[in-house]
Structure 1
């Protein structure tokens, strides 16, 4: 019999993050968002709470938890703000997990303690200008010259890549040609400050304005040969496995945003009066909020299911894609409905609902667009592209 109730340990973690989000994040994040400034004090606090090390074994400097625990933390943070939540999500699933899953003993010893404590952020450089969802279209190259890799190329939309505490970017690059004539893609760790590695000025974004995102370029950038992460030629496969996990995390973040919209609308509906009555007394508002709660609840069940399959060691690609698709749709729909309920106030950046609306759209794009999720689900069902 299925039981979706949280264990005592999971509930304790969820509750502590909820308290942090409401007491520490909510009062200040609007100012960070308006200034488009990275919230270093909040990230430091999350590091002290052990959130960056949640799915990492204690012997590697982590909390000894599981990936589902991370998802619970992401959901609670996103109920208040998505910039802080995506900083944690990318820091763990895209920064830390590649090292944790595929790193050598030396690489783990060098990077994991700082990553798990939040003192160092890692980033993952996959997307390139002009490639988008076509990750296999990687053009960045890495040529082995003696005992060094020489990288040339560029990456776009890379989260956590230009902060003061960014330690490295793991980069996908073409390192040769496979026997079938296809690209041999590998992943290589490029430390921040390496000559030839340039971080462009931060993007001007529609949402996630308190998170860090940059374009990166590599011009004869040299790193030691031992910076190869995992097996040569397996970079693309490694990335796909990391993305499957990351989609569950993004689904959790999306559920948080969707639930945050419900939270704000419930409060507002009980305070705002129109035509002599609380707007929450009007059936039109009640039904809209009921639909919002239904979306959030359904999406939560989807990511719980995907996480459970992952924890059991089962194949979870289909469940992860479903969770990401359903949850990102719920976030976007709830943000739109919440803005409508708030009316003009929902269009103001200083309100959480205004930020939710701006933050929601990227959830249907990042870590695999909704179209990519549908493609993956169809393939998992045995349907081949024509």
Structure 2
């Protein structure tokens, strides 16, 4: 069902209406086919890019949509309500654009950013490694300086859109310690770069997640974003925004699970009454609705702080924690509401439940979010 939203402008309301129409036309009819067959939705990101949905929160002068983050996240939620894997990829693309937008030189932004924000090129975010997930400072992929640029050697893991993206925000080691990591805008295809077989995942099957193998690939010097050693600062500044993206995606997924459960409970009867009229099940649905509404409120609060130029790191972690934990519970409860049908592929709630699980893991596990929140509280006056 369409969610009644408080939007800041009529332009934002029109954008949400366009998003719903596009998602109903382009995403909803294709999701089951591609998720079951584990096939990539060719051409879909071009459609989203032409609609202006891949650069919404970035400045208009750079080719973006100039929209507040609170509006952009609600667009992500609408996409996720139809197809979570695609919404995750859109969020990751936005995350991959941020290092260039915030830390690139004017010449770098002019050269690369317009095509990225227009969706002519789709990006991936390459921070994690097989043995460096939550501890980003432990990464070992190396960027050795050459006469003309940098030679990249090492392995990166868990890359959304890996092998399909046109560019990657790549983090590699140029020195020792936490200040020895640098950020690069790496092309998606270059000699010395190859990708492993996509991961055989529990969910989000239509968008590949892959390992990248850098075997001495050479990047030009102008591919460095910011200064050498600034990589972790760049990574962490982008991750707060990325956590809000995943919070919005999780909320959209949970909203869909709630909608399916409510529709089923209104139609199914037991003991002579609709099952929604039985208090035990009605209260379960009420808790599900409260969880979805709470998740939406937390990500909007953090987004509004971001739009106002206020610190929002703790609020981003709260939003990611609340929204993804809620999505896991709501999708699990939706399976319960549908009973045996919930466990079958006749209804999508079993897929929703599988897709929700990873949202508690990527963009920083929820244990890491609790650590971020606790440290913020410990440092408070």
TM-score normalised by L of structure 2: 0.94
In the TM superposition, 1:265-304 aligns within 5 A as: 265-304=261-300
CA contact (8 A) 1:140 1:152 kept: yes
Q: Which residue of the partner structure matches residue 61 of structure 2?
A: 59
Q: Deviations over 1:273-330 (max 9, x none)?
A: 3344322221122111100000011111111110011111111111111111000111
Pairing of 1:200-211 with structure 2 (within 5 A): 200-211=196-207
Alpha-carbon contact 1:202-1:214 (below 8 Å) kept: yes
Contact 1:80–1:352 at 8 Å: present in 2 too? Answer: no
How far, CA to CA, are the matches of 2:151 and 2:63 in structure 1? 32
- In the alignment, what sits opposite 1:135? 136
C-alpha distance in structure 2 between counterparts of 1:31 and 1:167, whole Å: 25
Deviation at 1:214, TM superposition (A): 0.8
Deviation of residue 142 (structure 1)? Answer: 0.6
Q: 1:190-269 to 2 correspondence within 5 Å?
A: 190-269=186-265
In structure 1, what is the Cα distance between the partners aligned to 2:26 and 2:143? 43
Q: What is the aligned partner in structure 2 of residue 88 from structure 1?
A: 90
Match of 2:72 in 1: 70
**Contact 2:7 2:71 (8 Å CA) reproduced:** no
Q: Does 1:364 align with 2:363?
A: no
Deviation at 1:250? Answer: 1.0
> Which stretch shows the higher mean deviation, 202-211 or 277-286?
277-286
**Which residue is equivalent to 1:375?**
371
Q: Distance in 2 between matches of 1:182 and 1:283?
A: 55
Aligned-partner SS, 2:262: helix
CA contact (8 A) 1:196 1:220 kept: yes
**What residue number does 2:315 align with?**
319
| C-alpha displacement of 1:104 | 2.0
Q: Which piece of structure 1 moves more, 231-240 or 280-289?
A: 280-289
Report the secondary structure of 2:203's partner residue. coil
Q: Could you tell me which of 326, 330, 336 is aligned with 2:326?
A: 330
Gaps (5+ residues) in structure 1?
none
Distance in 2 between residues matched to 1:154 and 1:222, nearest whole Å: 15
Shift of the 298–199 alpha-carbon distance from structure 1 to 2, 3 Å rule, reads same
Establish whether residue 113 from structure 1 lines up as the match of residue 109 from structure 2: no
Structure 2 counterpart of 1:15: 17
CA distance in 2, matches of 1:24, 1:350: 21
Contact residue 69 and residue 304 of structure 2 kept, 8 A: no
Change in Cα spacing, 1:313 to 1:195, as seen in structure 2 (3 Å) is same
TM-score (norm 1): 0.93
Contact 1:161 1:168 in 2 (8 A): no
Distance change >3 Å, CA 182–CA 256, structure 1 → 2: closer
1:308 pairs with 2:304: yes
Q: CA RMSD in A?
A: 1.7
User: What SS is found at the alignment partner of 1:27?
Assistant: coil
- Deviation per residue, 1:25-51 (Å, 9 max, x gap): 112210010111121233222112100
Q: Which range moves more in the overlay, 36-45 or 248-257?
A: 36-45
Gaps of 5+ in 2: none
Cα offset, 1:383, TM superposition = 5.5
Alignment deviations for residues 1-47 of structure 1 (CA, whole Å, 9 cap, x no partner): xx965432222222221222233311221001011112123322211
Number of residue pairs matched? 376
Q: Give 4+ residue runs of structure 1 displaced > 6 Å after superposition.
A: none
1:221 and 1:307 map into 2 onto residues whose CA distance is 38
Matched, 1:47 2:52: no
The 1:4–1:380 alpha-carbon spacing in structure 2 relative to 1, beyond 3 Å, is farther
Residues 182 and 239 from structure 1, CA distance in 2 versus in 1: closer, same or farther, beyond 3 angstroms? closer
Q: Which residue of 2 aligns with 1:342?
A: 338
In structure 2, the CA distance between the partners of 1:62 and 1:5, relative to structure 1 (3 Å rule), is closer
Q: Deviations over 1:85-116 (max 9, x none)?
A: 111111112x2222211122232223222211
Q: 1:80 to 1:111 in 2, by over 3 A?
A: same
Q: Secondary structure at the match of 1:202?
A: coil
